[in-house]
Amino acid sequence: MSAVVLLSGGLDSATALYQAFEDGHLRSQCLAVSFRYGSIHMKREMQSAADIVSYAGVDHVIVDLPFEIFKGSGSALLGETAMPKGVYQDAFAPEGPSPTVVPFRNAVMLSMACALAQARGYSTLYAGMHASDHDKWAYPDCSPEFLGAFANAAYVGTMHEVRFKYPFVWMSKSDVVTRAALLDVPAIMTYSCYSGREAHCGVCPTCVERIQAFRTAGYIDPADYEIKLDWTGETWLTL
């Protein structure tokens, strides 16, 4: 059994890698694929991705996408507009994409990873999107509708050689934290912040989501934060 795993360096993708191990894919037969596409946190993400693959003992490929294809979208993740603070979507905001959406990014990455998998003889492709990603259509290309259709198209397009797996697509972010704990994912090595600084800022949308997920799951987040987080007053598990 062989698998390609999309690895950004964040908690979700790292957990997807360890889920592949849990599913019976040998580490020697797994390939982590990371993408550089011009995001403001790209360098810091790649540092975490490199740390994770070194620790896990899997091969790693880094693909440089042409930055020009995403320019002009106004994405905060590319530094074209101000980075929002707080949750991706306010509870009273209408449905619609987050300001951090990068146009059709997941489709581009999944396509290239699928081509790589077929070319090198890997049978399965893992990606770590979860239910919180597509809540209120914050990230449309993380939705089950999109991912299911894409997986079907890829399976046909590769002559049934590559199957896609999205093990967390119906799980909340807190569920992913719990799964990470069960799988012994090195969460301290993961990086989720949009700032791109060494420590997590603690106030951007993905930091807020990560902190809330750890609290809901009952775990202390081992990552470094620029803000002080209070974990006192309750019994927390250490991940």
Q: Say which CATH topology domain 3-238 has.
A: Rossmann fold (3.40.50)
Sheet holding 3-6, edge to edge: 59-64, 30-36, 3-6, 124-126, 163-165
For residues 154 and 164, is the Cβ–Cβ distance under 8 A? yes
Q: Give the separation between CA 209 and CA 207, rounded to whole angstroms.
A: 5
Q: Could you tell me which residues come within 8 angstroms of residue 86 by beta carbon, excluding any fewer than 6 positions away?
A: 203, 205, 208
* Per-residue pLDDT tens digits for 197-234: 999 999 999 999 999 999 999 999 999 999 999 887 65
How sure is the predictor about 87, in pLDDT bands with cuts at 50, 70 and 90? low
Q: Is the pLDDT of residue 139 over 60?
A: yes
How sure is the predictor about 146, in pLDDT bands with cuts at 50, 70 and 90? very high
pLDDT for 10 equals: 97
Pick left, alpha or beta for residue 183 (phi over 0 → left; psi -120 to 50 → alpha; otherwise beta).
alpha
pLDDT for 234 equals: 54
Q: Could you tell me which residues come within 8 angstroms of residue 212 by beta carbon, excluding any fewer than 6 positions away?
A: 173, 174
The rounded percent of the chain whose pLDDT value lies above 90 is 77
Q: Give the separation between CA 210 and CA 118, rounded to whole angstroms.
A: 33
pLDDT for 127 equals: 98
Domain spans of the chain, in order of start: 3-238
> Residues of 66-92 as b/e, b for ≥16 C-beta within 10 angstroms?
eeeebeebebbbbeeeebbeebbbeee
Looking at per-residue pLDDT, the higher value among 90 and 52 belongs to 52
Q: Give the separation between CA 16 and CA 34, rounded to whole angstroms.
A: 13
**What is the pLDDT averaged over residues 147-176?**
97
Q: At what angle do helices 11-22 and 42-56 cross, to 10 degrees?
A: 20
Q: Is the pLDDT of residue 91 over 50?
A: no
pLDDT for 86 equals: 60
Mean residue pLDDT across the chain: 91
For residues 17 and 52, is the Cβ–Cβ distance under 8 A? yes
**What is the pLDDT averaged over residues 96-105?**
82
